[in-house]
Amino acid sequence: MRTRKGSARRQAKRRMFQRAEGYVGGRRRLYRTAKENLVRAGRFAYRDRRRRRRDFRRLWIIRLNAAARLHGLRYSQFIDGLNLASIEIDRKQLSEMAINDPSGFEVVVAAVKDALSKHNKSA
């Protein structure tokens, strides 16, 4: 008599159906449909993990641009000044600082303006 993966197949299906919990209708109850939807969901999850990084970086840049403009600088000038002043704080931390610690952000902006003015005088 040939073996048919009885318990292993049952466990695999059980794991798959557990992953499909929360889906509606046949997407949860029918093996083939659930499997197809899990593959599709996995592709979206993979893509969107990468997309999330892009989206957050865009958000931080928008916030920094708004905060820099309050101090009379454009975003590009602000980033150039950060590089000239050798300030190595990433955009995430800077945007959090602009929101939660405006006085600390003003200190950074002052250093950026100072570095920009020194650079412009030497050029």
Which CATH number goes with the domain that contains 63? 1.10.1900.20
pLDDT band of residue 45 (cuts 50, 70, 90) is very high
Average per-residue pLDDT in the chain? 94
Closest CA to 116 of 64, 87, 80: 80
Domain span at residue 81?
7-122
With b for 16 or more beta-carbon neighbours within 10 A and e for fewer, the 29-53 pattern comes to: eeeeebbebbeeeeeeeeeeeeeee
User: Model's pTM, two decimal places?
Assistant: 0.80
**Domain-located, residue 68:** yes
* Whole-Å CA distances, 87 to 16, 40, 61, 64, 106: 49, 43, 16, 15, 14
Q: How many domains does the chain have?
A: 1
**Domain-located, residue 38:** yes
Mean pLDDT for the stretch of residues 88-114? 95
**Domain-located, residue 60:** yes
Structure confidence by residue, pLDDT tens digits, 70-80? 999 999 999 99
Give the tokens for residue 52: 């999330």
Q: Does 111 score more than 80 pLDDT?
A: yes
**Domain-located, residue 92:** yes
Instruction: Give every CB contact of residue 28 below 8 A, 6+ residues apart in sequence.
Output: 17, 20, 21, 22, 34
